[in-house]
Amino acid sequence: MAVNDDKINKFYVAINHYAEEQRKKIEQEIEAFKKKELEEAEVDVLTEAYRLIQKEMAEMRNGIAQEMAQREMNVRKELLSKRRKIADEVFERAKKALSEFTKEKGYEDLLVKKAKILSKTFRKPGTVLCIRKEDEQYKELIQKAFGNDCEFRISDDIHIGGILAYNSGMGIAADETLDAQLEDQREWFEENSGLAVV
């Protein structure tokens, strides 16, 4: 019986030894699995964190770009407003100077010159010459310089002075007013004044 006990004992030892090896093997597999899963989870977390950081950075860059664009637009608007104000002041002074000029002798000469220029184009009857109320005193002078048949009308659209002519029969009109000539100078002023907004 001692032999049997010894065999049973050896059997138990062998089983325990085998079970211990299996337990260690399973623990190692579990540890390897945990390590692999942890590494994968770590990679996933880092990847997600990277994506989140990139997204946040892109949103920040977009926000900064939009803010800078808005600021630039506001500065441009302000500069355009200042430029317009300066141009308006310059043209208001020019308008006053031209209005003062209409009270001088040189203005009569200018009206004669304008009438002669218009007479070269408006040769047919039916021509209407528009002048401002203040220039009615020059009708005879203008008529003589124009030399052709014409009718005079007072125009509220002429503020500074000069002559506006049209002939419905010919289908043409010409603006030789100081108002139009001053307004024509706006584009030149904007290009050459050095007040460009870039």
Look up residue 103 and give its two tokens: 């009270």
Residue position matching structure tokens 């304008």:
114
What is this structure's pTM? 0.60
What is residue 125's three-state secondary structure? coil
**CATH 3.30.2320.30 at 103-192, yes or no:** yes
pLDDT, tens digit, for every residue of 26-61? 888 888 888 888 788 788 878 888 888 888 888 888
Q: Give me the sign of the Cα torsion angle 49, 54, 55, 59.
A: positive
Distance, in Å, from the CA atom of 30 to the CA atom of 36, rounded to the nearest integer, reads 10
Residue 104: both structure tokens together: 């001088």
Tens digit of each residue's pLDDT (9 = 90 or more) over 56-112: 888 888 889 898 889 888 888 888 888 888 888 888 998 998 889 999 989 999 999
pLDDT for the residue numbered 31: 85
